[in-house]
Structure 1
Amino acid sequence: MLLFPPAACPRLIVKIGSALLVAPDGSVRRAWLEGIAADIAARAQAGQQVAVVSSGAIALGARRLGLPKGGRASLEDAQAAAATGQIALSQVWAEVLGAEGLTAAQMLVTLDDLEDRRRYLNASATLDRLLGLGVVPILNENDSVATEEIRFGDNDRLAARVAQAAGAAGVILLSDIDGLYDRNPALLGAVHIARVERIDAGIEAMADRGSASGMGSGGMVSKIAAARIANAAGAHLAIASGRIDRPLSAEARHTLFVAEKSAPARKAWLAGGITARGTIHVDAGAATALAAGKSLLAAGATRVEGDFARGDLIVIAAPDGRPLARGLSEYPSDDAARIAGTRSDEHAALLGYTPRSTLVHRSHMALL
């Protein structure tokens, strides 16, 4: 059966890694890319709207500029390579899609574009309009201006956030591997995992941090992180091999991460947030209350980490350090630390002002 058929998935996000699009010598694998364009055209003809998150700009630019280590020797090299390679990348996409009668559009985004709520909504509206017009958006991180502190770092998580912004039901991560294995697939006896109903510590332990090609920035760890984001937004995510011709029409082995019931849009955005400003650790009682849909009270907090302001996105962590939820803090970090572990009737004296009722209100929180 076709992965994410149009009838069941009106909108689909496809992520393509650098090693699939760019050959080791830095040239575009054009024949393979033409097959992808044909697959997208077939899906579009069947009524599916497709957006592509395409890596490859740095690898293409590095070849043209003669930069060492694929353009990743330094941040400055990566930025220069991205600026040069993005022109070539957008041109080849326009050509191969144009040959299939499709129009391509380029969208370059930074982490802040999808982490800031207002900018996220603007990006979402642009995606919605382009897809509604039958255009194929080609997205990439704007590596020419991104820095280590304000970047996704891999296009796997970017694809998941784009799926959320576009309201897509499915995400396909085309990679140099055909899915998740219970250990490094190079090891004897490695077993392929076809379906993941829930991402837990056992699934995360299976991830191998390497990128087989050495060309990209993601590995299995980033793909599982992407699956968490996509699933939180109600989108299923598949990891599939792109090492075959026409991978979007082939019935090949893959790993499917199954989404739970879709969260409301704002909570899905919170759950998918990447740039949390701090962490509030809680005790077992508070962890149980959060799971039951309660707000986080100061009495259940045990420790505060980070430097954050009121309204910043923070992580709420269990006693063992495992992330339980993400939410918007009702207090700056200094004040949150002052009242952590105390009763509500003590807060006014500790803070010197009339306190708020919660550290993080359930309306501004998303469980992970």
Structure 2
Amino acid sequence: MNERTAPDGRRVVVKVGSKSLVGDGSGPRFEALAKQIAALRAERRAVLVVSSGAIALGRSALGFDKRPTEIAQLQACAAVGQSRLMRAWEEAFAPYGVPVAQLLLTHADLADRERYLNARAALDALWELGAVPVINENDTVAVEEIKFGDNDQLAAMVATLAGADLLVLLSDVEGLLDREGKRVPLVSDVSEALALVGASSSDLGTGGMASKLEAARRAAKRGVPVVIADARDGRALERVVSGEDVGTLIAPLGAKLASRKHWIAFTLRPRGTLLLDEGAAKAIRSGGRSLLPAGVIGVRGDFSPGDAVTLCDAAGAEIARGLARYGTRDVAKLAGANTRDIASILGFHGGDEIVHRDDLVVL
């Protein structure tokens, strides 16, 4: 691929958006995608699908002209549409004798470490048994606190969960475009790429190019290459995997994060923010040191021991994420204190660190 190396994915996560499946008729729909996925399976590749479309199918069945805005109506559309979505996938894979498996997730499922590992084991079992897992957000019960945001973000989390070595985000565009409207083959700096786009949404879905780039950043931190490709191309998956110069590749970023640290940084939602003095911020940025009470100059939010928190410098710039060993009130009492005074201040000693380096990820 000219200036880029093609990822030869053995475990492939494919995300396809609503418009590509049930939109204006220009997309390949279920049958063409199933054909491509069956071909990848014939090459002994494990494939997982993150599929949008439940709300779009449900809204059509319930007589809505456009996507509802009320949460209850969206959840009703999801409830009606989810069975239709799975039926469409089952019928599409039937000619190839491939069983499909439905997994509905909320953010809470992946934020709980035990449930996260159970979901991973279930995926491994499904692949061993020859099924294609089809994953969607459980929109019928999801509320803001447990939503992923959109299926691009879900796909990035699932790619990490599944131990994927390739994530393909299929949409109704050929990839990231530069300011002249030309396709960008390779992105090595997501922040620069984000400057080319603004957050957007479609009538049928919620994700735009900015969302896809943020999802790609999340996956790339785990060492997973991401390709944004055009779902209207009936050979998009085959072309991506075979190494053709198609779509936009977001290359893995820096050192690959360990699974647990990636989970801390990109799956858990921070419940609070710790503001650090210059010395603590420098120690964490440069050496990934543990955060001690003396380095804390401010506390925001409402968190308990074990919750994820954001670590920011005095100017408010995020530098790391980690798991707090103390709750909000105790951290506020300890801010600026010496570790030897913890027991006298709190009446107990839960550890010298506010955030231990084993539970900390520098961003």
Q: Structure 1 length as normaliser, TM-score? A: 0.90
Alpha-carbon contact 1:36-1:247 (below 8 Å) kept = no
Aligned residues: 356
In 1, Cα distance between equivalents of 2:45 and 2:320: 33
Secondary structure, aligned partner of 1:15: strand
* 2:102 aligned with 1:106: yes
Q: Corresponding residue for 2:29?
A: 32
* 2:167 aligned with 1:171: yes
Which segment is superposed worse, 157-166 or 265-274?
265-274
Q: Corresponding residue for 1:162?
A: 158
Q: Corresponding residue for 1:54?
A: 51
Alpha-carbon contact 1:32-1:246 (below 8 Å) kept = no
Per-residue CA deviations over 1:260-301 (Å, capped at 9, x if unaligned) read 332222112112224221111223322221231211122222
Which amino acid letter does the alignment assign opposite residue 31 of structure 2? E
Which amino acid letter does the alignment assign opposite residue 16 of structure 2? I
CA apart distance, 1:30: 8.4
61, 74, 77: which is aligned to 1:64?
A: 61
CA RMSD of aligned residues (A): 2.3
117, 123, 127: which is aligned to 2:119?
A: 123
183, 193, 203: which is aligned to 2:184?
A: 193
Q: Corresponding residue for 1:332?
A: 327
Secondary structure, aligned partner of 1:354: coil
* 2:126 aligned with 1:135: no
Which amino acid letter does the alignment assign opposite residue 163 of structure 1? A
C-alpha distance 207-358 of structure 1, shift in aligned 2 (>3 A): farther
Secondary structure, aligned partner of 1:230: helix
Which amino acid letter does the alignment assign opposite residue 106 of structure 1? Q
Per-residue CA deviations over 1:78-119 (Å, capped at 9, x if unaligned) read 100001001110001011112123211111111111111111
Alpha-carbon contact 1:98-1:104 (below 8 Å) kept = no
Per-residue CA deviations over 1:222-258 (Å, capped at 9, x if unaligned) read 2122112212222111211213223212345322121
In 2, Cα distance between equivalents of 1:53 and 1:223: 13
Q: Corresponding residue for 2:205?
A: 216
Alpha-carbon contact 1:232-1:271 (below 8 Å) kept = no
In 1, Cα distance between equivalents of 2:349 and 2:158: 40
Alpha-carbon contact 1:67-1:77 (below 8 Å) kept = no
In 2, Cα distance between equivalents of 1:297 and 1:275: 22
In 2, Cα distance between equivalents of 1:341 and 1:293: 19
In 1, Cα distance between equivalents of 2:310 and 2:279: 17
Which amino acid letter does the alignment assign opposite residue 264 of structure 1? A
Which amino acid letter does the alignment assign opposite residue 89 of structure 1? L
Percent identical across equivalent pairs?
A: 43
Which amino acid letter does the alignment assign opposite residue 277 of structure 2? D
In 2, Cα distance between equivalents of 1:192 and 1:161: 26
C-alpha distance 332-119 of structure 1, shift in aligned 2 (>3 A): same
Which amino acid letter does the alignment assign opposite residue 86 of structure 1? Q
Secondary structure, aligned partner of 1:248: helix
Gapped regions of structure 2 (runs ≥ 5): none
Which segment is superposed worse, 72-81 or 338-347?
338-347
In 2, Cα distance between equivalents of 1:268 and 1:355: 25
CA apart distance, 1:355: 5.2
Alpha-carbon contact 1:22-1:29 (below 8 Å) kept = no
Alpha-carbon contact 1:279-1:306 (below 8 Å) kept = yes
C-alpha distance 294-16 of structure 1, shift in aligned 2 (>3 A): same
89, 92, 96: which is aligned to 2:88?
A: 92
Alpha-carbon contact 2:325-2:350 (below 8 Å) kept = no
Q: Structure 2 length as normaliser, TM-score? A: 0.91
Taking the TM superposition and a 5 Å limit, the aligned residue runs for 1:229-268 are 229-250=218-239, 251=244, 253-259=246-252, 260-268=254-262
Secondary structure, aligned partner of 2:311: strand
Which amino acid letter does the alignment assign opposite residue 22 of structure 1? V
Secondary structure, aligned partner of 1:127: helix
Alpha-carbon contact 1:32-1:245 (below 8 Å) kept = no
* 2:70 aligned with 1:74: yes
In 2, Cα distance between equivalents of 1:75 and 1:32: 27
In 2, Cα distance between equivalents of 1:103 and 1:272: 31
CA apart distance, 1:320: 3.8
Alpha-carbon contact 2:20-2:28 (below 8 Å) kept = no
* 2:273 aligned with 1:279: yes
**Structure 1 stretches (4+) deviating beyond 6 angstroms?**
3-6
Q: Corresponding residue for 1:186?
A: none
Alpha-carbon contact 1:159-1:226 (below 8 Å) kept = yes
Gapped regions of structure 1 (runs ≥ 5): 184-188
296, 301, 304: which is aligned to 2:296?
A: 301
